Structure 1
């Protein structure tokens, strides 16, 4: 069973399954994160949706590059969580199935290309207090790499 975090699903809403891949990226005793600036500020683990025909690892590499401009190496799966949310950018109620990986940041090769995203580098305590969802916090809190 995959752990649910956040609010329980509402019975009056039909949710669309949205699988995604996200990364904990340690960098010299700090962590690379992304700040989604619109429609409201949301600090997140870098990552995002898995496109049709794409593997979770392909999506992870693509999304990290799009959101923070970094190449990563040696991803390893830590687990998964699910949460039920409204995604205003898609006008969609989603059951987000979030696969979480740890990976090593190799190099920044570009600026973020994802609209309204900015790269952050935070220590663990600041990251834990600023991350926008319980699942990201859960995995970062238990990360020992």
Structure 2
């Protein structure tokens, strides 16, 4: 009985891990305008708003594209609106970061796809990106 229970639990963990890695990310859902106009920390993410001198969006795009396990999901620098997916190293949990130029500011919204709390991972990612611009 105990062996069967362990087998069922392991099977559920494998299936859950496969779902996290293979579940589609719909750009229509995740590639949305960043509505927050000021810095906000959330349980599952964070928003940061910074000044946008010339070249800031391009520098952020290069920094994000250079992060491990990160790729663009939708948008482009030319559009002034890009959403990226960054996956965690071990389980492959996807976090989404949307970067958008609005007038003379850049709005960034980083959030988790699964769960309730990201343990501050997205806030820290945004803070590292901002620090890299300095």
TM-score by length of 2: 0.26
Considering Cα pairs closer than 8 Å and 6+ residues apart, tell me whether 1 or 2 has the greater RCO.
Answer: 1
* Structure of higher CA gyration radius: 2
Which of the pair is proportionally richer in strand? 1
TM-score by length of 1: 0.24
